[in-house]
Chains A and B, each alone.
Chain A
Amino acid sequence: SQTIHQWPATLVQPVGSPLSLECTVEGTSNPNLYWYRQAAGRGLQLLFYSVGIGQISSEVPQNLSASRPQDRQFILSSKKLLLSDSGFYLCAWSVWGTGFNYGYTFGSGTRLTVV
């Protein structure tokens, strides 16, 4: 069965510090991978997505970057965190079938607080 792992669950980081959030998927090959951010009490904002190794699409210009070094690994990074980077970060994957996207499976999320 397919599973998605996202860590850490919570993180408190000072302003100006670097960030690295990791997401891995098991049980599937060549998934689409996504990073979303959710501010408290708000909707889901797509940050990045990737359809293959080394391929990254950025949806929102910001202080963050993403990388996909392996087929089932997706990393969200920042060189210097801002207070506005606080939020709930969600990784997700989706599969294709005959030109059809069957929707996302989300990870459990990382609660990031920048202080």
Chain B
Amino acid sequence: GESVGLHLPTLSVQEGDNSIINCAYSNSASDYFIWYKQESGKGPQFIIDIRSNMDKRQGQRVTVLLNKTVKHLSLQIAATQPGDSAVYFCAENIYGDFNKFYFGSGTKLNVKP
């Protein structure tokens, strides 16, 4: 469900390193997941998605991993760049409740040059 009242955890990485951002979900009926990136003062933007019938999906420099057994989702960013600095949210869509996505609390990624 939504975690809107929590302060954002921060992940600090060195430029060029790989980043891993994690997200836990609780509903076993969640069957579609999206990672969003939100830069300061802007609306969130779609990064990558994955359906529950997949374990892994790759994009350009990003990979999403889904572990349904432990209800865990991760976003891996390869060779992190300063432009990757943003807040990252995972969002889940629950089967039978198609109209809404439920957002995680978000993680702030800080890339150090």
Q: Chain A residues in contact with chain B, CB under 8 A?
A: 6, 32, 34, 38-39, 41-46, 49, 51, 57, 90, 92, 94, 96, 99-101, 103-109, 111
B99 touches A32 (CB 8 A): yes
Partner pick for B2 among A46, A92, A100, A108, CB 8 A cutoff: A46
- B103: nearest chain-A partner, CB-CB: A44
Q: With a CB–CB cut-off of 8 A, which chain B residues contact A39?
A: 4
Say whether B101 contacts A104, CB under 8 Å: yes
Complex Cα–Cα for A6 and B43 (A) = 11
- For the complex formed, measure the closest distance between the CB of B99 and the CB atoms of chain A, giving whole angstroms: 6
Interface size on B, residues (CB 8 A): 28
- Residue pairs across A and B with CB atoms within 8 Å: the count is 76
Write out the residue numbers on chain A whose beta carbons fall within 8 Å of the beta carbon of B89.
Answer: 43-44
Q: Bound complex: CA of A97 vs CA of B45, how far in Å?
A: 20
Interface CB pairs A-B, < 8 A, 15: A41-B7, A42-B5, A46-B2, A46-B100, A51-B99, A94-B101, A101-B98, A101-B99, A103-B46, A103-B49, A103-B93, A104-B91, A106-B43, A106-B45, A109-B42
B52 to chain A, nearest CB (A): 12
Query: Is the CB of B78 closer than 8 A to any CB of chain A?
Result: no
- Complex CA–CA separation, A103 to B89 (angstroms): 13
Given A42-B4, A43-B3, A101:B41 Cβ within 8 A: no
